[in-house]
Structure 1
């Protein structure tokens, strides 16, 4: 029983707030701390239109994490399992990081390999 409670207490589920850029988009971030002290992030998104349909048009969605003490980190590009986005506009993402997440957000960008986020935030969680 105690083991189950400790596993549950280490897991956080953060919902993305509604977006003005993509109002139909919905999603969440599940954060688990593993035995090594790392943080596993699982992101699931529904109804996120292709970035080329945004105004202004962009090429990719980039996932960012604001950390407790180490600034903002580019976690990578958001892709679906069947091409860029499936017909259901569903995408998921998994990563492990040693940095403690404070907030996760997604921006529309022209390049996935940038080091600072642009101004076009399409989804964000509240700070934890």
Structure 2
């Protein structure tokens, strides 16, 4: 082997390793919600990754989530919250489905961008989507991550 071939292979190996490190670091974090005692059939997960501005993109995918009016006591909306790495609780917004509050298949999704770094995500049933304090009806929650 010539010295140029060795250098070329070494350069290719470095590029390959760098590409792998970047792809591993930029992977989406996927966290499942724990089983719910309030809505036992509800299932879902949260995906978190960073955008080019180093903000956190949070996507939630839910299935079999009962219509909020059918809860006991009934409520008006589901609200997504995060616990930040500074231990603050932040309202991220209201869950909406593609057709009405919840679709016939009881599926819903949520997407937002925040500068806060989440350590836990949870969903509550609320009467007001703009509330600044999470209610006691926690429908779904992740573990701390």
TM-score of the aligned structures, taking structure 1 as reference length: 0.94
Which residue does the alignment assign to 1:115?
A: 132
**Runs of 4+ off more than 6 Å:** none
Q: For CA contacts below 8 A with separation 6 or more, give which structure has more relative contact order.
A: 1
Is structure 2 residue 22 aligned with structure 1 residue 6?
yes
Q: List gaps (5 residues or longer) in structure 2.
A: 1-15
**Residue 69 of structure 1: how far off its partner (Å):** 1.1
Is structure 2 residue 49 aligned with structure 1 residue 32?
yes
Which residue does the alignment assign to 1:47?
A: 64
After superposition, the C-alpha distances for 1:45-95 in whole angstroms (9 at most, x for unaligned) are 000011110111111000001100160110000010111110000000110
Matches within 5 A, 1:1-128: 1=16, 2-10=18-26, 11-69=28-86, 71-128=88-145
Give me the whole-angstrom Cα distance separating, in 1, the residues matched to 2:19 and 2:47: 19
Q: Is the 8 A contact 1:42 1:93 kept in 2?
A: yes
Give me the whole-angstrom Cα distance separating, in 2, the residues matched to 1:83 and 1:3: 43
Which structure's residues are more often strand, by fraction? 1
Q: List gaps (5 residues or longer) in structure 1.
A: none
TM-score of the aligned structures, taking structure 2 as reference length: 0.84
Which structure's residues are more often helix, by fraction? 2
- Secondary structure of the 2:48 match is strand
* Cα separation, partners in 2 of 1:90 and 1:37, compared to 1, 3 Å: same
Q: Is the 8 A contact 1:70 1:99 kept in 2?
A: no
Greater alpha carbon shift after TM alignment, 19-28 vs 6-15: 6-15
Give me the whole-angstrom Cα distance separating, in 1, the residues matched to 2:61 and 2:21: 24
